[in-house]
Structure 1
Amino acid sequence: MSDLLEISDVSVAFGDARVLDSVSLSVGRGEFVGLVGPNGAGKTTLLRAINGVRAPDDGTVRVDGDRLTDRSTKAWSRRVATVPQDTGVSFAFDVEAVVEMGRAPHRRRTQFGTSERDRRRVEDALELTNTADLRDRPIDELSGGERQRVFVARALAQDTPLLALDEPTASLDVNHQVEILRLVSDLVGDGRAALAAIHDLELAARFCDRLALLSNGRIRAVGPPESVLRSDALDPAFETTTAVATNPVTGTPAVTAGADRSGDDGRRVHVVGGGRVGSRAIASLQRAGHEPSAGVLRSGDLALETAASLDVPVATTPAAGPVDPDAVAAAHELTADASVVVLADVEVGPRQWALDLADGAPAVVLLEERPLADRLHGGERARERYETLRHRATTADPEALPSAVESAVGTIERPADD
């Protein structure tokens, strides 16, 4: 795969502020690269250096072997099409006219009117972005999401080998975000290349071939999504803690970001139960500054991946077969100094070890997503024990778990009435 875009040691400064510092990056033909990083990292400035809006102070930008500095603005616009972050407009052009503006770099000075080729490109762009039904509407009457799709259509009508997109999913609802990124991914399969600044890390991981992590004006990591979306790279770049697991539906990295750990005021909390609910519980407790542990969790469980990414102590057992008694013993050791045990939509089997862990805890919080009947496999005795536990437990939604932990601890720390 040959490189279509080559960025070599590009630096840009605004006064004394150095926004880009010796950035180098390449994008191959047929490749969709996502540019990720915190606000203010320099993503928009890099895209502007690529499309010629802001010439680099140092370094070179090449597209298809041609240097930016060797080509006129019009000639460069036949190589790079841009979807800007700001889709505000000053005049009430109708949608079709806005999309047709993408054909301007291809028109000769002597050309009058719209050629058949121009009409085909505009029509294709409208259809591909599902904006054909908006063609006669004034652009300033559209919602932000609709305008975003129109500007993507304009870039497609420009018919360039390289697409530079600055937050192309901004203002879009979830289904249109997926549509646009899937469209870009399909387009690069025709020999184009795309570089897009994307704030949603999970969407970037799902649709991009590679990611480039930009922070403080420098590229910190480049590679396949699973090699870039790692806590050791993300935490210093975003100045927060992150948990990285695998999305069970897409199989791509899923990132949970939160505030810096406080460390001093946190509670020791043990989470029993895996899957999505257990994973969210572990990440939520860690973000709130608590000290979670977890288990028993089976190998391959989403909650186990989350625990591993956050260096959370965990008791594990093989993916199949009976739960290892040594793992249950390890879980009891983890709960020995815990203030709270969280039963996260837990399955209760014949051995009822999960209930044993909760029975010995000073306080218990229940996270219940499924009906108890769907999780209970230990007979009537297990049901009676769970119901007894429920009477003294605090029941909470996963998003409210940190405050539920404090509430549960408060019930055991509050002095009894005289």
Structure 2
Amino acid sequence: MIRIEDVSVTLGDSRVLDGVSARVPDGKFVGLVGPNGAGKTTLLRAMNGVLSPDSGRVLVDGDAIADLSSKAASRRVATVPQDTTLSFDFDVRDVVAMGRNPYRSRFGSGIDSSDRSADDGENSTSAAVVERAMERTDVMQFADRSITAVSGGERQRILLARALAQDTPVLLLDEPTASLDINHQVRTFELVRELVREGKTVVAAIHDLNLAAHYCDELLLLDSGSVLSSGPPTDVLVEDTLREAFDARAVVSSHPVTGSTYVTALPERATGRERDGKIHVVGGGGTVSRLLYVLSAAGYDVSVGVLNEGDSDLETARLLGLETVVEEPFAPIGSEAQAALEGKIRDADVTILSDVEIGSGNLANLEAVSAADSVVVVEERQFEARNYAGSAAVASYRELCERGHVVPPDDVLSAVEDAFAGES
């Protein structure tokens, strides 16, 4: 659907794009990722014809976008810009209806009889398309409100509705979730995936690498105006490439719930007590695989267990060369494994209890953590939803929460650092 052929752009004295070439397959969702200043927005502007390259060209469905008239280009490519500032004072419905402008012979202020040049069929079609666009982006409740009276996040969704009303085969998004809360971030990307399934081709500049990895079919990683890597997220989001592009340490693993590629940024290795400490991790069932990568990469001395043979967390620990406490497959924790576990917890400066399910077979894990000097409790689900060991487990868990750090999965590393800082 889109071919980018050796595109170079200079703005002022800066070479913003330098010989960029790429292909965007029909009906795919491609994410543009890269550090600030890499050229993502400039490339989008070249793709929609707003910016003419100094050299090279962009073809959309076989035609050079720069050679098309404004209306012809607007019938092929719709854009949701990063800057949502609108200086005019129109109702939201009229703003969304502006997406129908490429299909009219002249601009009208609404979607009905004010557009005298359009026949009744076009007016009826436009009205239906506009209504559907507002419904899909959850902005119908703002239809009669002034565009100047909505929040930045609401305005971003309204501009997405306007782009959907434009009804083009290609949709370009520049940081489409930058002003949205987490709920509408997910809803926006779910909508984009739905549009792609319906046949639309989407290219989006995305700041959040994990959202890009989860939702995009392919990624195009830009760095200093050039393509550093392209392909499926698993091929692009690799640790060496991320360090080169972002000058940052990162751990790349699979998300334990979604299975998609997951990037965790790490601080640079530090010397001193906070990086020389010992950590014991209690997990199981895939609840700590990503965490083991993160802690190991951060420079901690990590042990893990008790884990049953065959557990995916155990496989990760062995891959990383970590010390483990192991029990037979499907067997409850025996006395020998429990003694080894208690020894690991005594030796650890910090013990981490993951969001693991607790039953009679691994209740000894929970009870052993009670003897830890410093505890970080990872909670993603309510304990009641994963407790199969009765009231005794509830009492132990509550005691750990009262004296430990209770954090969501993404905050574990900072909680560990806080725990070490509190000891020093």
Of 253-262 and 325-334, deviating more is: 325-334
**Residue 7 of structure 1: how far off its partner (Å):** 0.9
The alignment covers a number of residue pairs equal to 400
Q: Which residue of 2 aligns with 1:14?
A: 11
- Do residues 90 (structure 1) and 94 (structure 2) align? no
CA drift of 1:236 comes to 2.7
Q: 1:142 corresponds to which letter in structure 2?
A: V
Distance 1:165 1:308, change over 3 A: farther
Whether 1:249 and 2:257 are equivalent positions in the alignment is yes
Q: What amino acid is aligned across from residue 76 of structure 1 in structure 2? A: A
Q: How does 1:12-411 map to 2 (within 5 A)?
A: 12-109=9-106, 112=116, 115-116=122-123, 117-263=125-271, 266-274=275-283, 278=288, 282=292, 285=295, 290-295=300-305, 297=307, 313-315=322-324, 320-322=329-331, 340-342=350-352, 344=354, 364-367=374-377, 369=379, 395-398=404-407, 399=411, 400-407=415-422, 409-410=423-424
Q: Does the 8 Å contact 2:38/2:224 carry over to 1?
A: yes
| More deviation, 107-116/237-246 | 107-116
Q: Which amino acid aligns with 2:116?
A: F
Taking a change above 3 Å as real, the CA distance of residues 335 and 88 of structure 1, as seen in their structure-2 partners, is same
Task: Tell me the secondary structure at the aligned position of residue 212 of structure 1.
Answer: strand
Q: Per the alignment, do residues 334 and 23 of structure 1 end up closer, same or farther by CA in structure 2, a change over 3 Å counting? A: farther
Q: What is the deviation of 1:338?
A: 6.0
- Please name the residue that 2:112 is paired with: none
* Farther-moved stretch of structure 1 (214-223 vs 24-33): 214-223
The secondary structure found in structure 1 opposite 2:404 is: strand
Report percent identity of matched pairs.
Answer: 46
Structure 2 residue aligned with 1:416: none
Tell me which moved more, 125-134 or 84-93: 125-134
State the partner residue of 2:111: none
Tell me the equivalent position of 2:110. Answer: none
- Distance in 2 (CA, whole Å) between partners of 1:371 and 1:129 is 35
Q: Report the alpha carbon displacement of residue 287 of structure 1 after superposing the two structures with TM.
A: 7.6
Change (3 A) 1:79 1:404: same
- Are the counterparts in 2 of residues 294 and 312 from structure 1 also a CA contact under 8 Å? no
**1:102-147 CA-partner distances (Å, limit 9, x unpaired):** 1222222597355323223222212221222211110111111211
- Alpha-carbon spacing, 1:191–1:9, altered in 2? closer, same or farther (3 Å): same
Alpha-carbon contact 2:304-2:323 (below 8 Å) kept: yes
Cα distance in structure 2, aligned partners of 1:304 and 1:242? 22
CA distance in structure 1 between the partners assigned to 2:188 and 2:81 by the alignment:
14
| 1:121 match: secondary structure | helix
TM-score for both structures, normalised by structure 1: 0.78
- For 1:238 and 1:298, the matched residues in 2 are separated by 38
Structure-2 change in CA distance of 1:291 and 1:85 (3 Å): farther
Contact 2:58-2:65 within 8 A present in 1 as well:
yes
Tell whether the 8 Å contact from 1:101 to 1:154 is kept in structure 2 after alignment: yes
TM-superposed deviation, 1:51: 1.1
CA contact (8 A) 1:259 1:287 kept: no
Equivalent pair of 2:173/2:205 in contact (CA under 8 Å): yes
Distance (Å, rounded) in 2 between the aligned partners of 1:27 and 1:301: 39
> How far, CA to CA, are the matches of 1:131 and 1:376 in structure 2?
43
Say if 1:245 and 1:302, in contact at 8 Å, map to a contact too. Answer: no
What do the CA deviations read for 1:377-399 (whole angstroms, capped 9, x no partner)?
Answer: 7xx9x999x89x98xx9732344
In 2: Cα distance, 1:306 partner to 1:238 partner: 26
8 A Cα contact 1:245 1:254, kept in partner: yes
**Could you state the TM-score of these two structures normalised by the residue count of structure 2?**
0.77
The verdict on how the C-alpha distance between 1:366 and 1:158 changes in structure 2, with shifts beyond 3 A counting, is closer
Counterpart-to-counterpart distance in 2, 1:214 and 1:125: 31
Q: Whole-Å Cα distance in 2 between the matches of residues 7 and 360 of structure 1?
A: 61
Secondary structure (helix, strand or coil) at the match of 2:262 reads: strand
Q: 1:395 to 1:191 in 2, by over 3 A?
A: closer
Kept in 1: contact 2:306–2:327 (CA 8 A) = no
1:16 CA drift (Å)? 3.1
- Indicate the larger mover: 37-46 or 352-361: 352-361
Once residues 299 and 60 of structure 1 are traced to their aligned partners in structure 2, the CA distance between those partners, rounded to angstroms, is 56
C-alpha spacing 1:366/1:87, structure 2 compared with 1 (3 Å): closer
Kindly provide the amino acid, as one letter, of the partner of residue 214 in structure 1: L
Following TM superposition, by how much is the alpha carbon of 1:165 offset from its aligned partner in structure 2, in angstroms?
A: 0.5
